[in-house]
Structure 1
Amino acid sequence: MARPKPATFEKTKIVAENRKARFEYAIESVFEAGIALTGTEVKSLRFGQGSIAESYAEVRGEQVWLVNANVPEFSHGNRFNHEPKRPRKLLLHEREINKLHGAVARDGMTLVPLSVYFNSRGRAKVELALAKGRKAHDKREHIKEREWKRDAARIMRDRG
């Protein structure tokens, strides 16, 4: 029997990506979460502005919050413009929140946002990873493995 493919998310427009996260952390599982945004934040994200390079997520009580994500003020916003680095609520099912809370509390794992994107329905989403930090020697091992895979693919391609 064929093994089912892992769930992938429909990403039509990627706004921000945390490229260092896959190197800095060993990713265990990935979740898709909605974000509670104001109007000017959505407009700013639609223009492709935003950064999640130094952000993380944390579980406070029964809710998950995205902390330190930068969504710059909308250029045509008025006095009701948003604060760029405010904590933003992530929208997850209660079962997922409990799973994340248990993993962070028990296993010492971290919640790292991998990307912010708009799905096919036009909703802003965050790809959130449950990850464990890598030590320096783990990072070196990861680099060696990646380079070996690249070399092996090159050899296979050249030999036919």
Structure 2
Amino acid sequence: MDEVPLAQIFQRAMVLQRSGIRDDAIKAYEEFLQVAELHNVDPSLYAEVYANMGAIFAMQGKDSDTKERKHEIRQKAKASFQKAVEYRPGLGTAWVNLALLLLAEGKDNSGYDAFAVEKVLKEARSCCERALGMENEDKRSWQLANKLIGDIDVMMKQNNVQKPFQ
């Protein structure tokens, strides 16, 4: 088999992702990761591959028909975003997407437990702070992180009102 340049694999994956062909995009990104690891490429150079995979998984989770499947796919998304920020902490889009994912999980799982809601909100806010605190060159993710912090602060105030004995 002829070796295909990483850039070509990445471009194919991006085209598939943008075309909405998610499963094939994931396969192409996985192929990219295998080749990159085989050639000992520094993961910080391709952290956005993990972020892109996380975005695909997040969309698939949103479209899932069962709660179990949604949870399973969201865990893949979460792991992908975490890998992205592990390898490139300044990847603002991954931090913001991780915050959005945490908020979606919290909405589905915490119900009326004020303490669970507070934990999720704090964790999501922390992700947004990381997006703002890093050398985030993506203006859109910076703006979204700023907006999310404002929204989270409002939710935290509302949540505190609902807590008994406080």
Same fold (TM over 0.5): no
In which range does the TM-score fall when normalised by the shorter chain? under 0.3
- The structure whose residues are more often strand, as a share, is 1
What TM-score do you get using the length of structure 2 for normalisation?
0.21
Higher relative contact order (CA 8 A, sep 6+): 1
